[in-house]
Chains A and B, each alone.
Chain A
Amino acid sequence: MFSKLLITSLLAIPVAVASFESAERNYAKSSASYAGSRRLVIDLVKAGHYYSPVPWMKDFIVRTDRTLDTELEEALDKMLYHTGVKPFEALPEDQLRRSRSGSIRFILAKKLFKRGKPQEAMIELNGVSVDHPAYPFVANFKGTIFSHFGNFPDAESHFRDCVRASEVRMGKVETVTMRDQLETNRDYCVAGIARVQFTTRDFKKAELTYLDIEKDSFVWPEILFEEAWTSYYQKNYNRTLGKLVSYKAPVFNFIFRPEVDVLKALTYLKMCLYDDAKKTVDDFYSELLNPSRELRSFLVSRGKDYRYFYNLMADFEDNRPAPVLLVNPILRSIRKDAAYREMKSALTAAIIEYNDLRKRSQSPMTQNLIKNVRVLADEYRSSIGAYVRAGLVSKYAELYSSFQGMSYIKLEVLAQRKERLYQSDATPSKKRGDVKYIERNDKQYFWTFNGEFWADELGDYVFALRSEC
């Protein structure tokens, strides 16, 4: 998503046309020389063709052992803004290192981090200057890496830097999209701060920090779950349950999160509401056990056929449901992912560029560019397919983990009930809910839940159950 923020150029279209023609001339003269290739890519990017020259740009990076000059770096950044980092992620690390581009450094850091080299990743990220457009995202990434190392103060510091840089950058961008992306990045960094606080068991602070994320934020639905956990750890179980019940609101129907039920059962358990806990577990099992098995079989049967998964999502978006029931809510959930949306958007833009090229006179360069876009679109489709599959697998893993969690909870419920029998004290109170059991802080308001969901109330519901412990 951040790649879309790598924007530096606001070139006018006549410039672009001129550049395309210039590119055609250069292409005809010396397409094979280093200088010729460089000029060609720069001209095409200047001409607003970001997708079709991608293979050439990649080829250029691969073939030359020189570092990129400033003009070329700018062209690359511009290109990345539109295409996203995906097309370049496959490039070898040593070739990526040739670029001083902040965006390429970001890509390289991502690769290194994935490879278990966070230190090297950090070095690459440190190479991105504060005024680079990608910096807010780099700060976010750095906070994440520090968190990973358990260096929570630095982590929080970077997350705060991220918030600040994002907000600064938000004031400078022209497009809404870019602003949204920076907002999202900011909110994630706020969440990062809250997570650090949570991890250091400063639940009170964490709770307050979470509340700094607006309900209309793109990330809020998932942050709500973390808020519920925070309440849980504060033993504010009624509030936990209240936050979790928000997911029942139709507005959240795109959320597929088995862990919500796990936390709900766990909360009941903590309140010694064993029957409720057990019912939650049993409902979860009865609702999801067989579908999850089907999902597993489905995933196994389809293997890594990314095109299939791409088509699956495409069909779903065309309101054609998946063959396996549980796949639909997961696809719905994936569809809301920022990463998915970025790839999908890039693919759409690539197709637009493709169509645009086809309308032109079919010079040799145009023909090659068309070919290039076609290849890139295929890569996007594969990436989307892979992402969809990964999303399904991830949800399956989440389900798997949730089932285990549910089992543990049920076992704990049973153990507690058994213990009571051993103690011959198995008479729970019949009185369940009461306002006095609700704990509040100064950012929360008390709302009595009347069975309806109001957008404003989401996340603010509070249960009034008496603990039976």
Chain B
Amino acid sequence: MLKYLILLTLLIQAVANARTTLDERRKKILAIVDEELAEVTRLAKQQDYKAPETLLRVAELNLEKGRLFREVENEKYLAVPPAERARLNKREAFIQSTRYFAAANDAALVVAKKFPQYSSIGEVYYILAYNYKELGEESSARKYFQLAVGSSRDPKVLGKSRQALADIYFNDKKYSAAIPLYEATLKGADDKWWTKDAFNLAWSYYRTRNYDRGISLMREVHRKSGGKYVDMRSAVERDIGIFYVDANQINEAIQFFESVGLSYTDQFIKIATAITAQGRFDQAEKLLGKVKAIEKNRGRRVEILLAELNLFEKFNRTAEHLSTSRELVALHLKGGLEKSQFEKLTFHVNKLAAELQKATASNVYDRVPKIKQQKAKESIAYFELAAQLNPGKRAEKLFFQGETAFAAGDFSKAIGLYISAFDGARVDGDKKILSQSLEGMLAALGQPTLPKATADRSFIPVYSRYVTVDTRSARAQAIFVKLFNAQFDSGNVAEAEKTLASFAKNFPEDFKTQEAMLAKVMEYYRSRKDYGPVKSYVTRINAGDFKVSAKYAEALRGLMTKLQIEGVQQSLEKGEKAVALKGYHQIHASSESTPKAKINASYNLAALYFELGDTSQTYSWASTALREMDVADVVKFADSYLSIAAGLFLRQQFAPSADLSHRLLVKLCRERTNSKAASFKNAAFIALANDDLKKALEVHSMAKSCGVPEVTATEVALEILKDLSKTKQWDTYERMLRELEQNPKNGPLLIKPYEDYRRELATIGQAEEARAISDKQNRFYQQAKTQKLDVPVEALDLMAERLVSIIADKKRRLDQIRLSFPQATFENALKSKLQLLDQMATDVNQLQKIGSGKGIVEGYRYIIAGYEEFGETLKAFSPPEKSPEFVESFRKAMADVHGPILQNARKQRNEVRKLISDNKILSLSNFSVLFNEQDMHKRFFTQKEAALMDRGGRR
């Protein structure tokens, strides 16, 4: 290790020599030092590195080299111009000396570690301490100086160590520790450094509150300074004031300063300034405070205050700085400061104002809003002072105040300040501030955290100022709107209308905004029933004073309509129908009325007249309304129209009803609405009711083109077929049947209509065609049964009727078989009758399956009659020409036959009774099966056109 240490030293030496420029003397010294190092190295090697003194010598020599190089480096470093020096790498500039110091340190450390009992260990510690000090490692330096003081035997080293350690303690503010060391150092010493060390000792006394000793020593230092000693007079004069001040010996201080020919105020200010630079704020403040209290001269007081400003500024005592600034500004306003004083004050005020504003604007205090507010408050106060110092720039300062408040988030305050700045700038003609303050107030106004009340209060002052400066820009365009809204919202409609007018003038093409503004204004008046201004605006709009879009124009018309209708509707709501009628008539008749208002009026007139039962007027206005009204509205009011049409029909106004229905259908033809089917049916049925078959056909013809549901169209068609049948328009009838037949599902519905046509064909002798139709009917029926489609009752009756005719035919055949003897004949007849009755019973069963009530009752009527008549005939029959015994025997035997037959007849009657009752069958044949012949008188037959009773009962 030691070998390498020494080798390293030699290497450093080689490198260092190549680097630093040395003067001749230093070169010679270094040459010797190098020789010494070489010799020591040789010696150390010879001693096998076991001699601490040799190693110590290595350390000392390296230290010496380090010092020599440090001197050269220092000179070189200080020769560089300050600006350039600031850019230099200090480490690089002192690299050579640092290396030697480090080498010295390494060697000394080895000695210290390896030879702790070495008699000169104190010197080793001293070297280490010195090196650490040079290397800036204060704690290590202190440690080794302490060790050196504790172990040095060499008085010189001991003295140096004490002095260095004292300096370290002094610099570390460990004055109590420094004092004995300084005292020991000074004891007996009388070199030139005495004054310097004594000065530090005096300070140490002072720091330990031993003021008297401190002052006394200071005075001695002052007295001794110069000559052979280092001159410490200026330092004493600078610092002794503090000693006196803290010792509460101001008078003594004054005496001292006067004794050395110094102005104590100047001196105290100088002291304060100096110690301020050292960071000793409290002392400086106290010093200035004391001197201020006794100084009466205004000029010097100002100087003191200015010194205080410096002090407070340096130590961020803003509150005190502000207070002092205020005092100085007040002094200035009272009498005017000297130019240099004024400049200093102005500098301070402006600087603090700006710095505080900057602090406010930074994000440093975002998390401590109270401080931020405080800084803003202070900045604003400084700007106020700045304005007082420079009234010509008041507007600018106000603007800065606004900026500060803005930065602090106090937008309410900012707006006020910006407005003041703006107004001031306008007076001064300062366009820059005018513009900036305007921007500021707008920005403040746009802040989301601005209280609404403030914002509401500020809109008008801000926007109204803006539009005095800018009326053309896009921003002005937006601001006009904001101003208008603010004015309008605040109820200042008159101003809002002015803004509207101004806007219309500056932005004539902005229809949309104008429309919005107009709408608001007009609505305002409309809501107050003050229609005059509204109409005036409409007139002005129509006159082109305001340019609006077509849509808006339409909206305006709507408004007018609304206005026109509104009054009438109110009358109606009050039940004043006559007034309402009159009103609607006026609206409809007025040339000023909008089409919409007119339509509205005509519809309402129809409704009103309908309510009043005036069918003619109803029809007339309903037709007008239908004609004028657009399809959408017709769809909307379709139910009403249908009601009106139905009402007209009920009031026997068939033609108007039909016409209205037809008109309605025409209007709704292309619309997808449920009302279309109803209007279609209504139109057709009312036409049929009005015997206007042609119209009905016309209506029906619209079914396909209007997209009427097929079910509805079929329903109407079946009704039309009835009328065609009645009017014997068989060609049309047949064509319509064939059209309906196109849909297989219509089959069962067509059975009955085809029957009418079949009968007609049969009547006119076209049997073949009639039979074909008959087959078709059967096919329709069978298909319906198969497909389980509903079959109309008429069709069922028809199909049952056909089976009933077969039963009736069998009944006739039954009746034609006569009972007679001989017995064989009798028995054959009996047998044939019973066979026919069985067939009839089978047919009746078949008939029941068809489901025709009429058919069932009719079928039962035949079979009941068959059984009864046969039973009675058999009961009454007596074989002719036969003995009574025979006859008796015959009768007895026949009783077993006719008894069951009659019983069966009664059973059949009960069955049909139950069927009629359960199925609520209404049939002309009911009577014959429910009653006997003797009850015929109970039967009631109606006259033609008799009124039918409604079986629905009360609803």
Contact = CB atoms under 8 A, between A and B. Distances in A.
Interface residues of B, number: 14
B28 interface: yes
B113 interface: no
Contacts of A414: 32, 35-36, 39
Contacts of B36: 411, 414-415, 418
Main secondary structure of the interface of B (DSSP, over half): helix
Interface string A403-427: 1100110110011011001101000
Given A411-B40, A414-B39, A404 B46 contact: yes
A400 interface: yes
A404 B47 contact: yes
A408 B47 CA distance: 12
B33 interface: yes
Contacts of A415: 36
B46 A411 contact: no
Contact of A404 (B28, B32, B43): B43
Given A418-B33, A422-B29, A400 B46 contact: yes
Interface in B18-33: 25, 28-29, 32-33
A424 B47 contact: no
Given A414-B35, A415-B36, A408 B29 contact: no
Contacts of B28: 421
B57 A411 contact: yes
Interface string A383-409: 000000000000000001001100110
A40 to B, nearest CB: 55
B636 interface: no
B68 to A, nearest CB: 10
Interface string A299-336: 00000000000000000000000000000000000000
Contacts of A424: 25
Nearest to A409: B39
Contacts of A410: 35, 39
A418 B32 contact: yes
Interface string B201-221: 000000000000000000000
Contacts of B540: none
Contacts of A404: 43, 46-47
Interface in B41-92: 42-43, 46-47, 57
Nearest to B24: A421
A421 B42 contact: no
Interface in B734-767: none
Contacts of B40: 407, 411
A417 B31 CA distance: 11
B43 A418 contact: no
Interface string B770-802: 000000000000000000000000000000000
Interface in B906-922: none
A422 B29 CA distance: 8
Contacts of A411: 36, 39-40, 43, 57
Contact of B43 (A407, A417, A421, A422): A407
Interface residues of A, number: 14
B67 to A, nearest CB: 11
Nearest to A278: B35
Contact of B32 (A400, A408, A421): A421
A403 B558 CA distance: 128
Nearest to B64: A418
Contacts of B25: 421, 424
B45 to A, nearest CB: 10
B941 to A, nearest CB: 167
Contacts of B39: 407, 410-411, 414
Q: Which of A403, A407, A410, A415 has the most chain B CB within a 10 Å cutoff?
A: A407
A24 to B, nearest CB: 60
Nearest to B40: A411
A407 to B, nearest CB: 4
B57 A417 contact: no
A421 B47 contact: no
B42 A407 contact: yes
Q: Which of B25, B32, B46 has the most chain A CB within a 10 Å cutoff?
A: B32
Contacts of B33: 418
Interface string A191-220: 000000000000000000000000000000
A410 B47 CA distance: 16
A410 B46 CA distance: 15
A293 to B, nearest CB: 10
A411 B35 CA distance: 8
A92 B342 CA distance: 109
Contact of B29 (A400, A403, A407, A421): A421
A403 B32 contact: no
A60 B42 CA distance: 56
Interface in A40-68: none
Nearest to B29: A421
B817 to A, nearest CB: 175
Contacts of B42: 407
A417 B30 CA distance: 11
A403 B57 contact: no
A404 B53 CA distance: 12
A305 to B, nearest CB: 25
Given A414-B39, A421-B25, A424-B25, A407 B46 contact: yes
A204 B937 CA distance: 200
Nearest to A289: B42
Contacts of A403: 43, 46
A417 B32 contact: yes
Contacts of A422: 29
A237 to B, nearest CB: 23
Nearest to A415: B36
A415 B57 CA distance: 11
A285 to B, nearest CB: 8
Contacts of A417: 32
B897 to A, nearest CB: 173
Nearest to A426: B28
A424 B39 CA distance: 23
A13 B259 CA distance: 115
A419 to B, nearest CB: 10
Contacts of A421: 25, 28-29, 32
A424 B29 CA distance: 10
Nearest to A422: B29
Given A410-B35, A411-B57, 12 more contacts: A400-B46, A404-B47, A407-B42, A407-B43, A408-B43, A411-B39, A411-B40, A414-B35, A414-B39, A418-B32, A421-B25, A422-B29
7 contacts: A403-B46, A404-B43, A407-B39, A411-B39, A414-B39, A418-B36, A421-B28
The 10 nearest A-B residue pairs measured at CB: A407-B43, A418-B32, A414-B36, A421-B29, A414-B32, A410-B39, A421-B28, A414-B35, A407-B39, A411-B39
Interface of A: 400, 403-404, 407-408, 410-411, 414-415, 417-418, 421-422, 424
